[in-house]
Amino acid sequence: MSITPQEEKKEKKIVFSEEIDSRIDGLTLGFAFIAVGLFLLFVPDYFGNKLAGQIVRWVFIVIGALGLFVEFGKVKPISDIKGFDDFWVGILLLAAWAALYFLTQNLLCSIAGFFFLVLGLYGTFQGLFRIIYSIRLNRKNKAQSKSTIVSDILIFLTKVISLALVVLQLVKAIQQ
């Protein structure tokens, strides 16, 4: 079978797998929504009205954050690493505590926030310790190469940093 010159010129689309492409599309969409929300945070009168800009900003930030949380929830454990669910729930509870602590100054919110703080720290540390133990256990059981361990850690840190940025931007948007 010979290749015609027309077939040579035609570029092929790179397809990783249906699951990976779907995950990349979901993460890209989530980050795009958050980026639009952040843009509107710095240019509040983009639509000619600050109230309209705030409403659209909130819609985009919330949809983007929810989309990212959904995509992170779809992620299968990396090399059978356990603890991500506990870790994310803990981070979300800590974000709720931070919002209550920095935005309100009354006793009722401080009491509710204290419970969010305790439960958030518990979930975060429990998830972190499970992740560390799972990595250690997988390393022993499967004799992972150093590059696999480093890639697992880098993926985890990327997720943590992106979640922290989303939470910080939400807190900043709430304060304005």
Place of tokens 């010129």: 9
2 within domain boundaries: no
- Domain count across the chain: 2
Full pLDDT tens readout for the chain, 176 residues: 555 555 555 666 666 677 777 777 877 887 888 788 878 878 888 888 888 888 888 788 777 777 776 776 666 555 566 777 778 778 877 887 887 787 777 887 788 888 888 988 998 889 888 888 877 777 766 655 555 666 667 777 777 777 777 777 776 766 66
Q: What is the DSSP string of 23-65?
A: HHHHHHHHHHHHHHHHHHHH-TTTTS-HHHHHHHHHHHHHHHH
Whole-structure pTM over 0.75, yes or no? no
- 49 and 81 within one domain: no
167 and 81, same domain (yes or no) = yes
Confirm whether 50 is domain-assigned: yes
